[in-house]
Structure 1
């Protein structure tokens, strides 16, 4: 009996939700009719966000009723989208999936909700017909489901009521299962599509990892060539000059040795900085929260650091997060003209993902350029199948959100 009441409650809630779905379908039709105008395209991101939110609520209701979660994954919303981005947003698989569910839900859920109310009320009415049929005017007899004009007709009404109850007993749970199946089948990620997307993501992340590795090797080679290597060559030359001075003019040998020592010290310092850039030792000493705190403390732009439930992650992920924050703060200091910057870092569950938000109050207008800092951040993050979303309207503020899967 408890299961029947759960089914009744679920169908009634879905019936009311179906009315909202119908309103969203009508709004979508209006939006499509406005697509010939710029305002129609401007409303597309808002409509898709509402559609995703509404579909997420349906997944949650279905999961509570059936006990089975409805897995899904949306691609990120494009920042400052153009017409091409909006067209892809409307035609991508997830939007078509949610739209198909919305139409079927708008047509079926209100009908199911009405039947859930009408069948028990109809049964109740047929049971009490024998008590009031005589009070009805002769030209307007009770007609549920046939005209009752005699005691024999009234005597058959309880049988009709029992049939109504049996139909409700069977139909309401069936409608609840259908509505839950509608959500779980249409709103869940298609297994083949999910596998195909996963293969594409792995291919892209592998390419990004190779690009990041190649860029890192080139940077190390360039830093070694332009810095430590040149200084070590200078040390060798100075030691050679000191050797000749010892043979010809011993008084000049000591200054040459001192200069060689200073050059060797600078080369050692640059080598230490290079090693630090490959993997900062501070991550092992203080963890990511301590390392990011050190970055915030050294920032030339006043930085507020907000860390919430930041858990340990694999060393490679923590190193990527550290360099993301370091590069972001460098970009803020160089290009934003900001007077304050906020860095938020947290770890969210299901799936385990590290999120980093960098917000500044600068003049905005940041864009990703080939070889620039933002491109480097994206390349480093995509190597871990992460995402970077940048929102930087002219006049500011600028917000960058990075999500890094922790890979557990």
Structure 2
């Protein structure tokens, strides 16, 4: 371990310890003045300063321990001060940071001064060589204890997130069942009722008016064709046949071919994900492509499908789909129900969706789901495949 680098961390942490003392005073004053509203402005300034200094210590702890110490803050939603303040106050890490602010200066001063004294005194230089790594490692563990969640806390948060996502998926499934019921009632069922009536009238008219009977049979045939089309549409909404037949890559390529915007497809999959995951990612990509066609004004779009082995929390890898376009940008995933539905689908499998869409573009939507890949008999998907799926109309 580089002792000079660790000593440099000790110097930095000694300076930051005095900054934290000032910051602790600011928190106390701001908290006391909240009753007269002035404190809100003070606390609004103290919060980002605290997080900035905490992130510096997370970085030093990660480099000292050789292990990542991730930034665990909850993302701030779009909205005004009140909306963001609620998220900040509900974030447990806000309060852990606050506790750390009041105890870290003492630890920082003691450890940093000890390391520097051992270095500056000629007699204690050998002790500096041997004691600096364990001292700074202990300081890093101290910071990680406050500034990062433990494994048990991460598991509790994951259970909570899965519980919430399961409730959302149950609600979404109930809504989907109601939609299917409406589609069947208003579509195929109505056409089948009309078919039955036409056949009944044709049967009654056969002897007296054969021409009328033939016309009714012809109408019944048309109603049958329309009813079959409605049923196929409902089935595609549940699980597209092309997805079952050709897998995720083939199904995504099929919907990309129907786009008026040229879409490039890059597939790097060595097998097929589980069917439920495959379906969730397929519908997510389909929703992204629909948004590109309706809102982006893009001249070109692209899709990348990859699988990173061993990248998930469970060690089974991560399936990643990236859908991008060169349109106007400014996409807001919370503005409509379509992307929220995609989030709910993915959350059921511990998956995530992230959107990067600055004004002027490009827009990138990344869908990630932890899963392993099974065998993909009959095809070799292990090699990269880049396909321009359509040409400009």
Q: What TM-score results when the alignment is normalised by the length of structure 2?
A: 0.71
Does the 8 Å contact 1:212/1:383 carry over to 2? Answer: no
Change (3 A) 1:336 1:305: same
1:27 and 1:345 map into 2 onto residues whose CA distance is 50
- 1:317 matched to 2:265? The reply is no
1:386 and 1:85 map into 2 onto residues whose CA distance is 25
1:87 — aligned with what? Answer: 85
2:256 and 2:50 map into 1 onto residues whose CA distance is 38
SS, match of residue 369 in structure 2: strand
2:251 and 2:293 map into 1 onto residues whose CA distance is 19
Does the 8 Å contact 2:263/2:303 carry over to 1? Answer: yes
1:97 — aligned with what? Answer: 96
For each residue in 1:237-265, what CA deviation from the matched residue of structure 2 results, as whole angstroms up to 9, or x when unmatched?
22212212322223433333232222212
For each residue in 1:326-377, what CA deviation from the matched residue of structure 2 results, as whole angstroms up to 9, or x when unmatched?
122223333444444444444451334444444452374646467x323333
Does the 8 Å contact 2:6/2:64 carry over to 1? Answer: no
SS, match of residue 206 in structure 2: helix
- 1:404 matched to 2:364? The reply is no
Number of equivalences: 357
Q: How does 1:7-156 map to 2 (within 5 A)?
A: 8=3, 11-15=6-10, 18=13, 54=56, 57-64=59-66, 69=67, 74=72, 76-91=74-89, 92-98=91-97, 108=107, 112=111, 115-116=114-115, 118-123=117-122
1:320 CA displacement: 0.9
Does the 8 Å contact 2:265/2:304 carry over to 1? Answer: yes
Q: Which deviates more from structure 2 when the two are superposed, residues 208-217 or residues 328-337?
A: 328-337
Change (3 A) 1:304 1:28: farther
Q: Which deviates more from structure 2 when the two are superposed, residues 315-324 or residues 253-262?
A: 253-262
Q: How does 1:320-339 map to 2 (within 5 A)?
A: 320-339=280-299
Change (3 A) 1:328 1:177: closer
2:223 — aligned with what? Answer: 263
Q: Which deviates more from structure 2 when the two are superposed, residues 192-201 or residues 26-35?
A: 26-35
1:219 — aligned with what? Answer: 179
1:128 — aligned with what? Answer: none
Does the 8 Å contact 1:80/1:391 carry over to 2? Answer: no
2:322 and 2:271 map into 1 onto residues whose CA distance is 16
Change (3 A) 1:46 1:326: farther
- 1:203 matched to 2:163? The reply is yes
1:377 — aligned with what? Answer: 342
For each residue in 1:58-94, what CA deviation from the matched residue of structure 2 results, as whole angstroms up to 9, or x when unmatched?
4532442xxxx56767355234342134324544222
1:376 and 1:355 map into 2 onto residues whose CA distance is 18
1:250 — aligned with what? Answer: 210
Change (3 A) 1:11 1:195: same
1:281 — aligned with what? Answer: 241
SS, match of residue 179 in structure 1: helix
1:210 CA displacement: 0.6
1:289 CA displacement: 2.5
Change (3 A) 1:235 1:171: same
Pairwise CA RMSD of aligned residues? 4.2
Q: Which deviates more from structure 2 when the two are superposed, residues 102-111 or residues 286-295?
A: 102-111
**Structure 2 stretches of 5 or more lacking a match?**
31-37, 374-393
Q: Which deviates more from structure 2 when the two are superposed, residues 395-404 or residues 346-355?
A: 395-404
**Structure holding more helix per residue:** 1
Q: What TM-score results when the alignment is normalised by the length of structure 1?
A: 0.69
Change (3 A) 1:176 1:255: same
1:14 CA displacement: 2.8
